[in-house]
């Protein structure tokens, strides 16, 4: 993800519930209700930094992400299942563990899996160990931090199980050298005999140890380290007691990925940076003869105009002379290239070369990946590529946006076209900022509008179906989104695009029209639409810009009189003439669609967000700091809820027509942290998550579905849009 830092800044260090069930017992006196959990279907959205097939159990593989946890694909599931949703929690520091820097699957006991977790260096990291495919974990703290979302995060794998002594696991770190466990991860020790830690850094972050590999024949250990002098590879033939340096090679380049064939070759992909943030300008591919102790340059030459480095390297388990390598940092219009050799790198064929294209992209199940093109790109930031050990035709690789798998990679051998399919079913990694769910008519109005990092956002016609390209916003980094409650096909969002900071749709997100920009010196900001969409209000993200209102869909703007700078604005969901705002610790109201505002006399905190309610004219709710307040007279007077300490709140459809909408909130009630709902306007609360299931790093944004009773959505910084329904 390119917007990780911004997403992290906009998110809270919280974490919430995942999984397929929730507890139904009372916890500490707080009533709870059982929920089923999943995700709004998008299909990836973030950087999948590593793919790992288990070499002995067919149909088992894992994916790790830079800030969205790890996933398992197992035969029979037909989709990726997140295996890290126990991490995090409101007011918990474990949100940082949702970034997975390295993952190792056990080739002897496939039920065992290990991870080193830590999104950012300098934050607490941990090692997680499981003996049941990641369904349950034991956490081991060794005082080492990891950088799953730092520069160089596509290198690896930094963790590996010894295939001949599977109780032993090796772990490479960025700044603390090589570590080892001899008891299935229960206890760890630093390998003091390992001679170096690495001396190359990017963006102030040490790259350290890049990978650990085992010779499948001798069980000798090979470790790659980011060393400036080119002496980057060390080997041990006595289970790590002593180490020998391989000859130096390619000074100023770093072997970010490696693989060892059963016929005695170490294959290495090099780049002049460890990517992906620090762009690779050049690279090489080498093979090293374990017998002759010599390097051979086997860099693919296919006439594709390659520049940049090389990312993943994978050896076919069925043929040790067959390897696949990916480009890295090759911003060709078609995307990164994959290169395949069946003779140990002497000759290569590629997805595209000087003769043309030899692939077809199949993104039917996630149409937005076309990104306005006739055909989707093959991907970018492809730092890892893996051949299925049981199927040479299947090559799976992660990208900066999703996961792809080839259907027939061997077609390159005979000059045919390779089909590359979308393969991120169930894997959702988005840094989500906010959502709005209006009342919706099936198939004719969106169920949900969302905004997020990297992708801008979507109009979701069906939250269970990945969006098509037409309903993909894909323009700028957004800040706010709103829709006209009585006419939900009208919606608007703001972004950092200075030429057109406000965009509006009149057809449910099929097309987005740019609004006229004003020379205010501000961009992005907040946006609100009156109940029928007749007026559009925009408050630029500037302390020098006025707030504006338009009655012609953003073609002409007028100053919204009576407001200070950067107010929070909310439109009444019943009366199009009524608009509310909070600014400078005061509440304001407009009776003319937002052209003129006057203070109501109510006092709130400087940081206040306003909410209005379906079917209730004049009902205004406020999240004033962490206090929930509500008004039934248009914001003139407010009552305070004293039984809840909130981080975010929102409303959803009631159980029966005419009842008051259900209130959802993140925070704590009776000193119990979690996700809650109230069906009686905040008098009583039910917790809808439990302590065993979280969702990583939570963004403070939550809302109920506008039409489906009990359905709730909340935003995460890395785990997409979480969706929950009451369990039957």
297 is catalytic: no
- Give the whole-angstrom CA distance, residue 155 versus residue 161: 17
Q: How is 36-79 classified by DSSP, letter by letter?
A: EEEE----B-S-EEEEEE-SSSTT-EEEEESSS-EEEE-TTT-S
Residue 4 lies in a domain: no
Residues β-bridged to residue 357: 352
Q: What is the mean pLDDT of residues 302-320?
A: 97
Q: How many CB atoms lie within 10 A of CB 256?
A: 32
CATH of the domain at 407: 2.130.10.10
- Please identify which of the residues 454, 482, 568, 705 carries the catalytic annotation: 454
Does residue 459 form part of some domain? yes
Beta strands in 344-455 (DSSP E): 349-350, 352-353, 356-357, 359-362, 385-388, 391-398, 403-406, 418-422, 432-436, 448-452
Q: 415 and 486 in one domain?
A: no
Can you tell me the distance from the alpha carbon of 671 to that of 645, in angstroms, rounded to the nearest whole number? 9
Lowest mean pLDDT segment, chosen from 277-281, 331-335, 437-441 = 277-281
334 and 458 share one domain: no
Q: Does residue 374 fall inside a structural domain?
A: yes
How many residues are listed for the chain in this entry? 728
Q: Are 690 and 1 in contact, with CB atoms under 8 Å apart?
A: no
Position 16 in a domain: no
**411 and 534, same structural domain?**
no
String of b and e for 397-406 (b: at least 16 CB within 10 Å)?
bbbbbbbbbb
Place of tokens 């610790």: 585
Residues 413 and 440 in one domain: no
Name, in order, each residue with C-beta under 8 angstroms of 698's C-beta and a sequence gap of 6 or more.
Answer: 11, 12, 14, 15, 16, 88, 90, 95, 666, 714, 715, 716, 717
Judged on CB neighbours under 10 Å (0-12, 13-18, 19+), 346 is exposed
> Is the CA virtual torsion 502, 506, 509, 510 positive or negative?
negative
Q: Which of 396, 422, 448 is the last residue of a domain?
A: 422
Residue-wise pLDDT for 629-675, tens only, equals 999 999 999 999 999 999 999 999 999 999 999 999 999 988 888 99
- Provide the residue range defining the domain that includes 689: 432-726
Same domain, yes or no: 416 and 366: yes
Regarding whether 445 and 407 lie in a shared domain, the answer is: no
Annotation marks residue 66 as catalytic: yes
What number is the average pLDDT over the span 332-360? Answer: 98
Q: Residue 467: pLDDT band by 50, 70, 90 thresholds?
A: very high
The answer to whether residues 501 and 540 touch, using CB atoms and an 8 Å cutoff, is yes
- Separation between Cα atoms, residue 436 and residue 464, nearest integer Å: 16
Q: Rounded to two decimals, what is the model's pTM? A: 0.93
Which pair of structure tokens corresponds to residue 35? 């929920």
The percent of residues above 90 in pLDDT, for the chain, comes to 88
Same domain, 471 and 539: yes
C-alpha 454: how far from chain center: 10
Dist. CA 674–CA 687, nearest whole Å: 7
Given 66, 162, 523, 614, the catalytic residue: 66
One domain, residues 448 and 398: no
Domain boundary (371, 387, 422) is at 422
Instruction: Identify the pLDDT of residue 691.
Output: 75
Same-domain status, 476 and 416:
no
- Strand 686-687 relative to strand 31-32, pairing: parallel
Whether the Cβ atoms of residue 367 and residue 466 lie closer than 8 Å to each other: yes
Q: Confirm whether 30 is domain-assigned.
A: no
Q: Are residues 348 and 455 in the same domain?
A: no
- Number of domains the chain contains: 2
Contact 257, 152 (CB under 8 A): no
pLDDT band at 449 (very low <50, low <70, confident <90, very high): very high
């Amino acid at each position: 993800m390119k917007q990780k830092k911004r997403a992290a800044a906009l998110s809270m260090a919280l974490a919430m519930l995942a999984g397929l069930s929730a507890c139904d017992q009372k916890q500490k006196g707080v009533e709870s209700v059982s929920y089923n959990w999943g995700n709004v279907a998008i299909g990836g959205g973030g950087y999948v930094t590593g793919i790992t097939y288990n070499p002995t159990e067919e149909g088992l593989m894992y994916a790790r992400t830079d800030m969205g946890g790890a996933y398992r694909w197992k035969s029979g599931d037909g989709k990726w299942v997140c295996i890290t949703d126990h991490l995090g929690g409101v007011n918990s520091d474990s949100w940082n563990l949702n970034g997975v820097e390295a993952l190792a699957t056990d080739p002897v006991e496939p039920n065992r899996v290990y991870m080193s977790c830590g999104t950012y260096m300098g934050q607490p990291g941990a090692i997680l160990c499981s003996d049941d495919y990641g369904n349950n974990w034991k956490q081991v703290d060794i005082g080492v931090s990891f950088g799953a979302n730092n520069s160089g995060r596509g290198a690896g794998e930094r963790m590996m199980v010894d295939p001949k002594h599977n109780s032993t696991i090796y772990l490479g770190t960025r700044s603390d050298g090589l570590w080892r466990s001899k008891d299935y991860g229960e206890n760890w020790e630093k390998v003091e005999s390992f001679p170096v830690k690495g001396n190359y850094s990017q963006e102030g972050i040490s790259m350290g140890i890049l990978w650990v590999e085992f010779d499948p024949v001798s069980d000798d250990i090979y470790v790659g380290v980011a060393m400036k002098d080119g002496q980057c590879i060390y080997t041990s033939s006595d289970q790590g007691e002593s180490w020998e340096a391989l000859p130096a090679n390619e000074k100023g380049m770093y072997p970010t990925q490696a693989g060892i064939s059963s016929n005695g070759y170490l294959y290495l992909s090099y780049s002049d940076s460890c990517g992906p943030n620090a762009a690779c300008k050049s690279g090489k591919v080498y093979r090293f003869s374990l017998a002759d102790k010599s390097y051979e340059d086997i860099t693919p030459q296919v006439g594709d105009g390659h520049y940049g480095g090389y990312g993943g390297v994978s050896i076919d388990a069925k043929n040790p002379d067959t390897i696949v390598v990916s480009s890295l940092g090759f911003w060709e219009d078609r995307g990164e290239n994959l290169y395949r050799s069946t003779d140990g790198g002497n000759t290569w064929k590629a997805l595209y070369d000087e003769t043309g294209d030899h692939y077809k992209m199949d993104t039917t199940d996630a149409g937005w990946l076309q990104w306005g093109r006739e055909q989707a790109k093959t991907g970018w930031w492809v730092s890892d590529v893996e051949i299925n050990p049981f199927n040479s035709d299947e090559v799976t690789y992660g990208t900066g946006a999703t996961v792809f798998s080839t259907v027939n990679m061997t077609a390159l051998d005979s000059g045919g076209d390779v089909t590359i399919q979308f393969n991120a079913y169930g894997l959702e990694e988005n840094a989500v900022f906010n959502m709005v769910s209006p009342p919706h008519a099936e198939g004719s109005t969106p169920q949900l509008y969302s905004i997020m990092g990297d992708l801008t956002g979507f109009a979701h016609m069906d939250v269970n179906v990945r969006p098509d390209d037409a309903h993909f916003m894909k323009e700028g980094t957004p800040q706010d989104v709103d829709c006209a409650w009585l006419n939900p096909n009208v919606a608007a969002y703001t972004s950092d695009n200075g030429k057109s900071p406000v965009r509006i749709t009149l057809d449910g997100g099929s097309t987005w029209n740019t609004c006229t920009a004003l020379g205010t010196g501000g961009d992005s900001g907040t946006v609100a639409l009156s109940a029928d969409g007749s007026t559009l209000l925009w408050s630029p993200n500037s302390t020098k810009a006025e707030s504006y209102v338009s009655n012609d869909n953003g073609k002409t703007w007028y100053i919204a009189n009576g407001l200070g700078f950067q107010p929070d604005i909310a439109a009444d969901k019943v009366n199009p003439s009524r608009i509310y705002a909070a600014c400078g610790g005061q509440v304001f109201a407009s009776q003319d669609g937002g052209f003129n505002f006057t203070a109501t006399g109510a006092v709130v905190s400087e940081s206040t967000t306003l909410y209005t309610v379906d079917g209730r004219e004049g009902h205004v709710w406020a999240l004033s700091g962490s206090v929930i307040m509500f008004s039934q007279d248009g914001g003139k007077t407010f009552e305070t809820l004293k039984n809840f300490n909130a981080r975010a709140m929102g409303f959803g459809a009631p159980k029966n027509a005419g009842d008051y909408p259900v209130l959802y909130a993140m925070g704590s009630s009776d000193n119990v942290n979690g996700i809650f709902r109230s069906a009686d306007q905040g008098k009583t609360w039910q917790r809808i998550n439990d302590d065993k299931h979280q969702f990583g790093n939570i963004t403070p944004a939550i809302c109920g579905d506008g039409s489906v009773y009990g359905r709730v959505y909340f935003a995460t910084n890395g785990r997409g849009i979480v969706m929950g329904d009451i369990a039957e």
